[in-house]
Amino acid sequence: MPTKIGYKYFIIPVMIFMAGIFFSCENDLEKIKRINADPNSPNETSENLHVTYTDSGYAQVELFAGIAETYKLPKPITKFKDGLKVNFFNEKGEITSVLTSLYGEVDDESGNITVRDSVELLNILEKKKLETEVLYWNKKGDSIYTDKPMVITYPDMILYGNGGWTTHKFDTAQFYNPTAKIFINQNEEK
């Protein structure tokens, strides 16, 4: 059995060592953030996103995205990558139009949406399709517009132009600078 004097000499260095460990451990959160956080990485990431926006219990907009990334800085923004599909509904709950693209972006402050790369807006009831490379959707004004070349295909004609606008229902459309109108003869014999 150790003597009391030996025990004191053993305990004192152990206590000093343990106190040194406890008081020297410090986690500076700012240092950790600088080491671990990439300022260009998203704050949140979702895969196979499916969101339905409703008003008074009725679906208004349904959104599908392969990858959704939310960023807080330098300004709040959500990016949709790997394909985007948006279904728009009428008052009866029927899908009236479908917007697709390979990429989309939502400014979370203003609510404005930009879609680009292989953009198509399809009006299901009228069987017409708008194609362009970029569309901007102003949520407050409920208008969708572009300043790029676009093509609208109807069952009996094709319209070409540079820039234009429509609504999310794609029930009406206007070109800023129409360039061509081609009629499709559907009475051809086969």
Enumerate the domain spans of the chain.
Answer: 4-33, 40-183
Q: What is the pLDDT of residue 78?
A: 93
**156, 186 contact by CB (below 8 A):** yes
Residue 188 has pLDDT above 70, yes or no: no
Q: What is the band of 190 on the pLDDT scale with cuts at 50, 70, 90?
A: very low
pLDDT in tens, 41-99: 888 888 999 998 888 888 888 999 999 999 988 889 999 999 999 999 988 889 999 99
CATH of domain 40-183: 2.60.450.10
**149, 175 contact by CB (below 8 A):** no
Q: Is the dihedral of CA 87, 88, 91, 92 positive or negative?
A: negative
Q: What is the pLDDT of residue 101?
A: 97
Q: In Å, how far are 121, 152, 162, 164, 170 from 156, measured between CA atoms?
A: 18, 11, 21, 20, 17
pLDDT in tens, 130-182: 999 999 987 776 789 999 999 999 999 999 999 999 988 898 899 999 898 88
The model's pTM: 0.74
- Mean pLDDT of the 98-114 span: 92
The string over 126-137, giving b where at least 16 C-beta atoms fall within 10 Å of a residue's C-beta and e elsewhere, is: eebbbebebbeb
**166, 174 contact by CB (below 8 A):** yes
